[in-house]
């Protein structure tokens, strides 16, 4: 083994360690950011007007516009519903119509969200025993 080959292997190992460290650091930062950001979305409340229409409320720490993406439980969330007010605020309200009996899967978004934020999904489902 020549000195040049030894240095090349050493450089490859060093580069692999640096890459692994960078990937770990970036992953940890994204996880920390998402945990911290999810903690600022407070007070999610789903109120049914009737079995097929619901009003969703949530609060944020900063003033922003909010919207909801939703879709079938086993499909993609391709529908979007903007908050009812066009004025940025900390309390957000969205009305969803034509909710199927099996429910919908939804995620909350805010205009101020970073592209790195991965929202937590929740289920919008009518439960007759809670409607009374």
Residues 65 and 36 occupy one common structural domain: no
Residues 63 and 76 occupy one common structural domain: yes
For range 54-76, the mean pLDDT: 89
Q: Is 69:79 a contact under the CB 8 Å cutoff?
A: yes
Higher pLDDT among residues 50 and 118, named by residue: 50
Summary mean pLDDT of the chain: 82
Residue 55: pLDDT band with limits 50, 70, 90: very high
Residue 4 has pLDDT above 70, yes or no: no
User: What is the domain range of residue 59?
Assistant: 42-131
Structure tokens at 62: 């900063």
Residues 83 and 119 occupy one common structural domain: yes
Residues 48 and 88 occupy one common structural domain: yes
Residues 9 and 72 occupy one common structural domain: no
State the pTM of this model: 0.66
18, 28, 46, 50, 121 from 109: Cα distances, Å: 35, 22, 15, 24, 10
Residues 46 and 27 occupy one common structural domain: no
């Amino acid at each position: 083994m020549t000195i040049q080959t030894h240095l090349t292997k050493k450089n490859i190992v060093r580069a692999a360690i640096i890459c692994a460290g960078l990937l770990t650091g970036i992953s940890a930062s994204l996880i920390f950011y998402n945990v911290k950001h999810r903690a600022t979305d407070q007070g999610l409340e789903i109120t049914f007007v009737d079995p097929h229409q619901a009003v969703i409320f949530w609060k944020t720490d900063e003033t922003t516009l909010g919207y909801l993406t939703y879709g079938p439980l086993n499909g993609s969330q391709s529908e979007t519903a903007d908050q009812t007010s066009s004025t940025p605020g900390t309390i957000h309200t969205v009305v969803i119509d034509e909710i199927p009996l099996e429910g919908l899967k939804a995620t909350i978004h805010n205009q101020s969200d970073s592209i790195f934020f991965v929202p937590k999904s929740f289920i919008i489902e009518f439960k007759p025993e809670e409607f009374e």
